[in-house]
Structure 1
Amino acid sequence: MASQKVVANGSSTKPHSQSNPLPRWLRTNNVYLFVPNLIGYARIVLASISLVYMPIHPLTCTILYGVSCILDALDGYAARKFSQSTKFGAVLDMVTDRCTTSCLLMFLSAAYPEHPGLKILFQFLLSLDLASHYMHMYAMMEKGAGSHKSVDREQSKILNLYYTNKTVLFTFCAANELHFVSLYLLSFPSPSAARDAILPFIKGMAYVTFPICFGKQIINFVQMARAAETLVNIDNESRQLAHQLNGEKKE
């Protein structure tokens, strides 16, 4: 019996280990080096280089900027596939999105000098994008949510659909960027016959993506309004609790 126990519990039997889909050289416990975050760093590099070409070479800028945006979808997939979803990665992803879009809107605000009203519009859209996401992130953090995407239907049906349905989220984000990129390309004079040939396509992309881009701005406004409401409710609850505690101390 003793010998049987040794065989059954001894070191000769190998414990079952869960397979890791990552190659050995990518396996690490360092969050900074997780695959989704490495993709995030690549996004930053590509977006930064695109800014160098933004005023001088629209095609190169568009390619670099577009690849950076495509990687935005890839890092989320990698996080789910390799079980490497982290708060650092989520914030890195959102901050990169906000910075790249802001830089493009800053360029657009000066790209149409013949239409001074567009300058104010693009500045407003930039401010709305930053304010809505910052307020939303802060409100969700104060609420104790695990992620800024954890929006329940009671808080907002629109935001719940936007953040929980990957198809809706991708469609609005992609169309939003495509609309701004098309406006960026249209801001340059036509230097070649090749560009003249694709000019109708660029204009068509601008028209097709406009309604979804407009919807994205409505979502940003709703997000900011709901975040403000959440923060006010938290303030009211804190003040009521403090008032009750002060009342109990006086008694």
Structure 2
Amino acid sequence: MSSNAPAVLTRRRPSIDIVDAKVAVDLATAQTYSENVFLFVPNLIGYSRIILAALSLHYMSYHPKYCTVLYCISCLLDAFDGHAARALGQSSKFGAVLDMVTDRCTTSCLLCYLTSAYPEWALAFQFLITLDFSSHYMHMYSSLITGSRSHKQVDSDVSRLLQMYYNPRTLFVVCAGNELFYIALYLLKWVHTPMSESLGMTGPLAEYTWPQLLAYVCGPICALKNFVNLVQLWKASKILVGVDLAERAKAREEELSKNQ
């Protein structure tokens, strides 16, 4: 264990290491217009997502159409900021954190509404909020502390499941399915007309409403997403414990070297 500790602890990040927070604040304050991270196109998309999400929350309790459209647009824009960052060379740690925080807060606000719409399932929704925040926070922190350029870069020797999950296409499908399931639960409180009446459908599915069918289709994807959250939380916990053990081993080695 002690022989591996220095390698783990001394691996350098590919970016500049800033130790003093005051230095970081000064750099951000003095940034030029041409290199202003706050004004990077992906981050501007992120700000628009926040505005759209806020508007959707405003309409959530009394106008389901406006709420759903605004919420879906906000979620869909999440697929564009990453492409813009790579195409324009404007990837940033601020943008990555902004994107993750926006996702977590937007979904949590919808789940908070669902706790009032389905009080009998309030504890389950509260658990999902807690799991989502804790899983992503610990995963991002463990990624930063081990020098990863992005929390979406996961080696197969750490977790094959997480590596597959963070594939851009897989990530889009799973996240979209997860959000659509929650949206379907929201719309179930507003849409009560079966498709036999609203769309003139016939057959065994005609007596269901379209939010019910959407919930049935996306429910398994939501279950998969939260299983991945559990795996992510566990893996991140193990990484942080491993770093703790490595740091303790290094501290013991340094103490021994001082006493010799």
Q: Give yes or no for TM over 0.5.
A: yes
Q: For residue 202 of structure 1, report the CA deviation from its aligned partner.
A: 1.2
80-89 or 147-156: bigger deviation: 80-89
Structure 2: segments with no counterpart, 5+ residues = 1-32, 200-207
- Contact 2:142/2:236, CA 8 A, preserved across alignment: yes
Is the counterpart of residue 94 in structure 1 residue 100 in structure 2? yes
- Contact 1:47/1:64, CA 8 A, preserved across alignment: yes
Within 2, Cα distance between the matches of 1:179 and 1:189?
15
Q: Deviations for 1:186-230, whole angstroms, at most 9, x for unmatched residues?
A: 12364x799x72762211110001111100000000000000000
Q: For residue 128 of structure 1, report the CA deviation from its aligned partner.
A: 0.1
- Contact 2:191/2:211, CA 8 A, preserved across alignment: no
Instruction: Tell me the C-alpha RMSD between the 2 structures.
Output: 1.9
Match of 1:166 among 165, 168, 183: 168
Match of 2:151 among 143, 148, 153: 148
Residue 10 of structure 2 corresponds to which residue in structure 1? none
- Contact 2:177/2:218, CA 8 A, preserved across alignment: yes
Q: Classify the secondary structure of the residue corresponding to 1:249.
A: helix
Q: Deviations for 1:95-142, whole angstroms, at most 9, x for unmatched residues?
A: 1000000101111111113xx2x1100000000000000000111111
Q: Classify the secondary structure of the residue corresponding to 2:34.
A: coil
Within 1, Cα distance between the matches of 2:95 and 2:112?
26
Q: Which has the higher contact order (CA 8 A, sep 6+)?
A: 2
Rg bigger for which structure?
Answer: 1
Q: For residue 143 of structure 1, report the CA deviation from its aligned partner.
A: 0.7
Within 2, Cα distance between the matches of 1:61 and 1:132?
27
- Contact 1:112/1:187, CA 8 A, preserved across alignment: no
Within 2, Cα distance between the matches of 1:222 and 1:87?
24
Q: TM-score, normalised by structure 2?
A: 0.81
Within 1, Cα distance between the matches of 2:198 and 2:177?
22
Within 2, Cα distance between the matches of 1:207 and 1:59?
21
**Hey, which bits of structure 1, 4+ residues long, moved more than 6 A?**
none
Match of 1:52 among 55, 58, 79: 58
Is the counterpart of residue 250 in structure 1 residue 252 in structure 2? no
Q: For residue 34 of structure 1, report the CA deviation from its aligned partner.
A: 1.2
Within 1, Cα distance between the matches of 2:181 and 2:231?
21
Within 2, Cα distance between the matches of 1:123 and 1:33?
35
Residue 37 of structure 1 corresponds to which residue in structure 2? 43
Q: TM-score, normalised by structure 1?
A: 0.83
- Letter of the structure 1 residue corresponding to residue 170 of structure 2: V
Q: Classify the secondary structure of the residue corresponding to 1:28.
A: helix
- Letter of the structure 1 residue corresponding to residue 190 of structure 2: F
Within 2, Cα distance between the matches of 1:181 and 1:147?
29
Q: For residue 250 of structure 1, report the CA deviation from its aligned partner.
A: 1.9
- Contact 1:40/1:92, CA 8 A, preserved across alignment: yes
Match of 1:228 among 237, 242, 249: 237
- Contact 1:46/1:68, CA 8 A, preserved across alignment: yes
Match of 1:77 among 43, 66, 83: 83
- Letter of the structure 1 residue corresponding to residue 69 of structure 2: I
Within 2, Cα distance between the matches of 1:35 and 1:52?
26
**Matched positions, count:** 220
Q: Percentage identity across aligned positions? A: 51
- Letter of the structure 2 residue corresponding to residue 155 of structure 1: V
Within 1, Cα distance between the matches of 2:75 and 2:145?
29
- Contact 1:28/1:34, CA 8 A, preserved across alignment: no
- Letter of the structure 1 residue corresponding to residue 210 of structure 2: F
Residue 183 of structure 1 corresponds to which residue in structure 2? 185
Match of 1:210 among 209, 219, 234: 219
Q: For residue 174 of structure 1, report the CA deviation from its aligned partner.
A: 0.3
